[in-house]
A and B are shown apart, each in its own frame.
Chain A
Amino acid sequence: MGEFFQHIINGVSLGSVYALIAIGYSMVYGILQLINFAHGEVVMLGAVFGFYAAPIIGGRPVHPSLALFFSVLLVAMALCGLVGFTIERLAYRPLRKAPRLNCLITAIGVSLFLQYFTQLDFVFGAIPQSYPEMISQATVLDLGGLHISNLQVIVLALSFSLMAGLQWIVYRTKLGKGMRAVSESTDIAALLGVPVNRVVSFTFVLGSVLAAAAGTLVATSYPKVDALMGALLGLKAFVAAVLGGIGNLPGAVLGGLMMGLAEEFTVGYLSSSFRDAIAFAILIVVLLFRPSGLLGRTVVEKV
């Protein structure tokens, strides 16, 4: 029984990271109908920024402390927000009125650019680096085979509070209202005086800030940073977003958690060889029966 609950804890903490990334895909899609393939790279940049920020803030060698972790997290979030803003401003805004395919190709281009730009020697390099340890490992709970570490608690608490914060922004603030308006119809929102450009920029910043948090959490739990780490994470989170119904925020969270749990249970009870196969098979099956994803149709209001 302990094993079963352990798998659930592991799956949920992995899934909550997928969910954080999936939200970014879903938000941008909800507003621009654009699949921002560069989103996974923003996650990677979140880890890279943290890698450089930690020794600057905490000195060398890095001494683990919660204060340091949160300052590094904030720095990564701020820088990634800036990156998200820049990507939208330079790459996507000029194409706002262009056919959707053009935007998609541009998104793939931005993604590849970030991957290979980061691999340049004077940027980060093609060699994976180890992420500084900012939280020293400790056990929070050890009960009949169930073992929860402080890291898992932090990952869960942080991702769920960020998701709650996002929910608040989208439903309780003026900008959130603007986001919901733009997602229904850009033109009508503009006619009614919603500053569309500002709302779109804000959406990208918000998504990128969450991606930075995800990047920091991934790098803290799996302390390896490399320029290509965003690719697979991004792909899985994208699948999670589609699974939950792209454009739908609770759907992205649900999809992320499902992906995490599916992977964990596949590895735990079947075989690790099927890890990705099962996750993608679930996607296919769900899309066969619900083409717009699990929560895609039931919720009208999209962001």
Chain B
Amino acid sequence: MKTTFSLKNITLILTGLAMSLTFTSCKKRGEGETQVVRIGEYGSMTGSEATFGISTHHAIQMVIDEVNAAGGVKGKKLELISVDDSGKPEEAVTAVTKLITQDKVDVLLGEVASSRSLAAAPIAQRYQIPMISPSSTNPKVTEIGDYIFRVCFTDPFQGKVVAKFAHDDLKAKTAALLIDKKSDYSVGLADFFKQTFTELGGQVITEENYIAGDIDFKGQLTSIKTKNPDIVVVPGYYTEVGLIVKQAKDLGLKAIFMGGDGWDSPKLVEIGGAAMDGTYFANHYSAEDKDPKVQDFVKKYRDRYHETPDGLAVMGYDAALVLVDALKRSVDFSHKAIRDAIASTRSFPAVTGMITIDDHRNASKPAVMLKIESAKLHFVKRVEP
């Protein structure tokens, strides 16, 4: 009895193995003949940073459609496979694993938020699939490995821009920080701000924390208010920032609020309302920029999606453009060749400026400071790296 069972089991296992082998070989053969380049995109299409993922996705889709309409790259069409990670690092890991192992993508675009890029990039690196992050600014992201790239500036630069602006233009002497301590982006940006601001002679007088998903910040803000700082820097994402600035007004906190590119979303002023007026943040671009490339993009995006593109949209667009350019220059469509082509991007004219990928797989880019006035973003100044 026992032997028959184990024999049966062995036969089953063997059949299973044989079948899986046949399937894998089938798939391999199919892959060689494929006429498409598969691009995997993962992002937060839902959750509290939903507009990040949606804007980025919209813009990437524009590039894919434009390229395919023009006949694709070297005769191959581009196929975009998008997966929602609902803004959670653990889901970003699942999304990227699925894209690589099941959808067999050749290259990855994503994520916006540094915490998610940091969670998923090691998988891309392990499978040697090139990944371009459109707007993860934390320096650690591209340090994960030689297959991980970005097309945006990094937080050391962004922190410096915000600190210099606070010190030189707003004449701020004292600052308070309100940090999302579970976010790599927020913690990193706060550190870099603090470095420069202290170097310039400013003083960070208090640091408070919150966790993304919190809705009540009055405790922290009340403590900040008693210290009476000139500015409050909130290097967080728009949902919490909107709630924070609104509650600060409830408490009569008069300091000027500042932040980074995580503020950039149409939802920011919807949530924060009139309290957002008079706040400043650093960003990748301004829709008011007179540059014809920018205006052309803004018009195309508006025509298709009926809204003004935010910074995340323009970065998604640039990431996809850099990728397409690399695919065109790549010797073949092997992952190694694509990686090398991305790494050798030099002075590529993207919408947000010239993109050169340096030895650390980062792009060195200018930043802009924006001011919110009557629920609109206004260009204040441009800072070159």
Let me know if A272 and B274 touch, CB within 8 A: no
Interface residues in A268-283 by Cβ distance below 8 A to B read 268-269, 271-273, 275
Number of interface residues of B (CB under 8 A): 38
A75 to chain B, nearest CB (A): 21
Asked if A267 CB lies within 8 Å of chain B CBs, one says yes
Asked if B205 CB lies within 8 Å of chain A CBs, one says no
Let me know if B250 and A273 touch, CB within 8 A: no
The proximity string for A residues 248-274 relative to B, scoring 1 for CB distances below 8 Å and 0 otherwise, is 000000000000000111111101110
Contact of A126 among B50, B223, B252, B267 (CB under 8 A): B50
Let me know if A6 and B250 touch, CB within 8 A: no
Let me know if B252 and A223 touch, CB within 8 A: no
- Contacts known (A128-B239, A273-B181); A3 close to B222, Cβ less than 8 A: yes
CA gap between A145 and B222 in the complex, in Å:
9
Chain A residues with CB under 8 Å of B335's CB are: none
Let me know if B219 and A10 touch, CB within 8 A: yes
Asked if A147 CB lies within 8 Å of chain B CBs, one says yes
Chain B residues with CB under 8 Å of A127's CB are: 46-47, 50-51, 54
Q: Select from chain B the residue with minimum beta-carbon distance to A273.
A: B209
CA gap between A226 and B243 in the complex, in Å:
14
Let me know if A224 and B215 touch, CB within 8 A: yes
Chain A residues with CB under 8 Å of B242's CB are: 130, 223-224
Let me know if A145 and B220 touch, CB within 8 A: no
- Contacts known (A127-B46, A149-B250, A272-B209); A224 close to B239, Cβ less than 8 A: yes
CA gap between A130 and B269 in the complex, in Å:
9
The proximity string for B residues 251-268 relative to A, scoring 1 for CB distances below 8 Å and 0 otherwise, is 110000000000000010
Let me know if B250 and A272 touch, CB within 8 A: no
Asked if A108 CB lies within 8 Å of chain B CBs, one says no
Contact of A6 among B47, B48, B208, B222 (CB under 8 A): B222
Asked if A222 CB lies within 8 Å of chain B CBs, one says yes
State which of A29-37, A134-142, A196-204, A287-295 sits at the interface with chain B.
Answer: A134-142
Chain A CB count within 10 A is highest, among B211, B243, B271, for B271
- Contacts known (A142-B252, A224-B239); A266 close to B219, Cβ less than 8 A: yes
Let me know if A263 and B223 touch, CB within 8 A: no
Asked if A151 CB lies within 8 Å of chain B CBs, one says yes
Chain A residues with CB under 8 Å of B239's CB are: 128, 224
Asked if B270 CB lies within 8 Å of chain A CBs, one says yes
Let me know if B219 and A267 touch, CB within 8 A: yes
The proximity string for B residues 4-15 relative to A, scoring 1 for CB distances below 8 Å and 0 otherwise, is 000000000000
Chain A residues with CB under 8 Å of B51's CB are: 127
- Contacts known (A128-B47, A149-B250); A137 close to B274, Cβ less than 8 A: yes
Let me know if B270 and A130 touch, CB within 8 A: yes
Let me know if B218 and A272 touch, CB within 8 A: no
Asked if B225 CB lies within 8 Å of chain A CBs, one says yes
Q: Select from chain A the residue with minimum beta-carbon distance to B227.
A: A3
CA gap between A264 and B219 in the complex, in Å:
5
Chain B at the A interface: SS class: helix
Asked if B86 CB lies within 8 Å of chain A CBs, one says yes
Asked if B210 CB lies within 8 Å of chain A CBs, one says yes
CA gap between A232 and B50 in the complex, in Å:
20
CA gap between A290 and B203 in the complex, in Å:
48
CA gap between A3 and B251 in the complex, in Å:
11
CA gap between A202 and B246 in the complex, in Å:
37
Asked if A152 CB lies within 8 Å of chain B CBs, one says yes
B215 to chain A, nearest CB (A): 4
Interface residues in B213-243 by Cβ distance below 8 A to A read 213-216, 218-220, 222-223, 225-226, 239, 242-243
A119 to chain B, nearest CB (A): 8
Chain B residues with CB under 8 Å of A125's CB are: 46
CA gap between A14 and B250 in the complex, in Å:
14
Residues of A in contact with B, size category: 35 or more
Interface residues in B19-55 by Cβ distance below 8 A to A read 46-48, 50-51, 54
Asked if A133 CB lies within 8 Å of chain B CBs, one says yes
Interface residues in B291-345 by Cβ distance below 8 A to A read none
Let me know if A137 and B226 touch, CB within 8 A: no
Asked if B249 CB lies within 8 Å of chain A CBs, one says yes
CA gap between A119 and B86 in the complex, in Å:
12
A276 to chain B, nearest CB (A): 9
Asked if A302 CB lies within 8 Å of chain B CBs, one says no
Contact of A268 among B46, B215, B219 (CB under 8 A): B219
Asked if A39 CB lies within 8 Å of chain B CBs, one says no
Let me know if A151 and B250 touch, CB within 8 A: yes
A34 to chain B, nearest CB (A): 28
B44 to chain A, nearest CB (A): 10
Asked if B72 CB lies within 8 Å of chain A CBs, one says no
Chain B residues with CB under 8 Å of A7's CB are: 219, 222
CA gap between A127 and B84 in the complex, in Å:
12
Asked if B351 CB lies within 8 Å of chain A CBs, one says no
CA gap between A224 and B251 in the complex, in Å:
19
Q: Select from chain A the residue with minimum beta-carbon distance to B218.
A: A10
Asked if B273 CB lies within 8 Å of chain A CBs, one says yes
Let me know if A268 and B243 touch, CB within 8 A: no
The proximity string for A residues 143-167 relative to B, scoring 1 for CB distances below 8 Å and 0 otherwise, is 0010101011000000000000000
Let me know if A222 and B215 touch, CB within 8 A: yes
Let me know if A222 and B216 touch, CB within 8 A: yes
Let me know if B273 and A133 touch, CB within 8 A: yes
Let me know if A272 and B243 touch, CB within 8 A: no
Contact of B243 among A136, A222, A266, A267 (CB under 8 A): A222
Q: Select from chain B the residue with minimum beta-carbon distance to A3.
A: B226
Known contacts A119-B46, A149-B252, A266-B219; 18 further A-B pairs (Cβ under 8 A): A6-B251, A10-B216, A126-B47, A126-B86, A128-B50, A137-B246, A137-B250, A142-B252, A145-B225, A147-B252, A152-B250, A222-B216, A222-B247, A223-B270, A224-B243, A264-B219, A267-B219, A268-B219
Chain A to chain B contacts (Cβ below 8 Å), 16 pairs = A6-B222, A10-B216, A14-B218, A127-B47, A127-B50, A128-B239, A130-B270, A145-B225, A151-B250, A152-B250, A222-B247, A223-B246, A224-B271, A226-B48, A267-B220, A272-B208
Binding site for A on B (CB under 8 A): 46-48, 50-51, 54, 86, 181, 208-211, 213-216, 218-220, 222-223, 225-226, 239, 242-243, 246-247, 249-252, 267, 270-271, 273-275
Q: Which 7 A-B pairs have the closest CB atoms?
A: A267-B219, A126-B46, A147-B252, A130-B270, A222-B215, A127-B50, A10-B218
